[in-house]
Amino acid sequence: MAGRSDPPDLPGTPAPSERPVLRVGIDENGLGPRLGPLIVTAVVATTLGEGHARVEAKPRGALRTRLGDSKRLVTHGDTALGEAWARALVRRATGREPATPAEVVRALSLDTGEALASPCPPGHERQCWDAGDEPFAAEAKLVATIEHDLSRLDERGVRVERAASVLTCTRRLNDGVARGLTRFDVDLHAMERLVLDARARAGRDVVAICGKVGGFDRYAPAFGPLGGRLHVAIVEGRARSEYLIPGLGRLAFVRDADERHMLVSMASLVGKWVRDLLMARIVRYHREHDPALPDASGYHDPVTARFVEATRVARRDRGLPDACFERRARSEA
């Protein structure tokens, strides 16, 4: 007996490759550092035809030199490539050229400036949110090259529409610890917010690929904004955990996604730039009182350790709470 085949589409129904698919790629930057914010970024695109396969594959050709693992392509203090992607994506979404880095961050942030600064102790908002006279680092030629890359992707069925970020400062991370949340929980919940935002804006289901969060195999028990929603686990494992969620779409967490999925790569590059920019504000704020302070990355390294120790007395004298400066682990809460 011949095997069953899928029923044909109804007359006039587009073939699967001709149906547009709303896709979201999400990644985090700054999950493990000692200082500075956690940034979770999403890049949203609509794919059609060959774009369905292209978007879930490694970038090819010259694009490969400008899109991939952010840890390979950008470093602390040299994030011009990430800035160029951020500027190009904001211009694409808003239709206008951002004038300053702060304008780019405002356009990316899922939260308003007032909401971001709301946990700040009086007089210390500037540590994280004072843009000063921040300059752009990326040359106009590089931004134009990225815009050309996006136009070429349009022609190949990948219409990248916008980027968005959730910015979680040290105070909010420490507040989460006080409520019993790990930084992995906070990371996951930010990813959920970004997927829900993409779904709400588009009014249709999404296919979302996220970088793997921590060592989780089973994500549903740790869901926050998606907690309690009906879902079906398609697969749960070290390499990939994927869920079908009615009213939302498909949500997958994939190991090394920033190397394997184009939109996740873009999100990682943009987020790396945002984190580096905000960490530079922290350094600049404390250098007002001690210009000799080192250029700390905020990660667990000797330079950051010197920065923490060198600012200790001034932070105490200025009344800056430790909870707004250095992250705590759950065991320290």
pTM: 0.92
pLDDT digits (tens, 9 = 90+) for 150-199: 999 999 999 999 999 999 999 999 999 999 999 999 999 999 999 999 99
Mean pLDDT to the nearest integer, 320-324 = 96
pLDDT of residue 210 exceeding 60, the answer is yes
In a domain, residue 307? The reply is no
The count of other CB atoms within 10 Å of the CB of residue 291 is: 7
Residue 59: predicted pLDDT: 81
pLDDT of residue 72 exceeding 70, the answer is no
CATH number, domain of 81, equals: 3.30.420.10
In a domain, residue 30? The reply is yes
Sign of the torsion formed by the C-alpha atoms of 64, 67, 73 and 79: positive
pLDDT of residue 277 exceeding 70, the answer is yes
The closest of 277, 324, 322, 281 to 109, measured between CA atoms, is 277
In a domain, residue 146? The reply is yes
Residues sharing a CB contact under 8 Å with residue 166, sequence separation 6 or more, in sequence order:
39, 40, 41, 109, 110, 111, 190, 193, 194
Answer yes or no: are the C-beta atoms of 122 and 319 closer than 8 Å. no
Answer yes or no: are the C-beta atoms of 39 and 242 closer than 8 Å. no
The rounded percent of the chain whose pLDDT value lies above 90 is 83
Full residue range of the structural domain in which residue 59 is found: 16-279
Question: pLDDT-based confidence at 4, cuts 50/70/90?
Answer: very low
Residue 6: predicted pLDDT: 40
In a domain, residue 329? The reply is no
- The sheet carrying 38-47 orders its strands as 158-168, 38-47, 21-29, 206-211, 249-254, 240-245, 232-236
Q: Higher model confidence: residue 122 or residue 73?
A: 122
pLDDT of residue 74 exceeding 80, the answer is no
CA distances from 256 to 61, 63, 239, 265, 275 (A): 20, 18, 8, 10, 20
In a domain, residue 41? The reply is yes
In a domain, residue 23? The reply is yes
Residue 79: predicted pLDDT: 84
Partners of 209 in the beta sheet? Answer: 25, 252
What's the token pair of residue 274?
A: 């945002």
In a domain, residue 164? The reply is yes
pLDDT digits (tens, 9 = 90+) for 112-141: 999 999 999 998 999 999 999 999 999 999
pLDDT of residue 16 exceeding 90, the answer is no
In a domain, residue 215? The reply is yes
Partners of 158 in the beta sheet? Answer: 47
Number of domains in the chain: 1
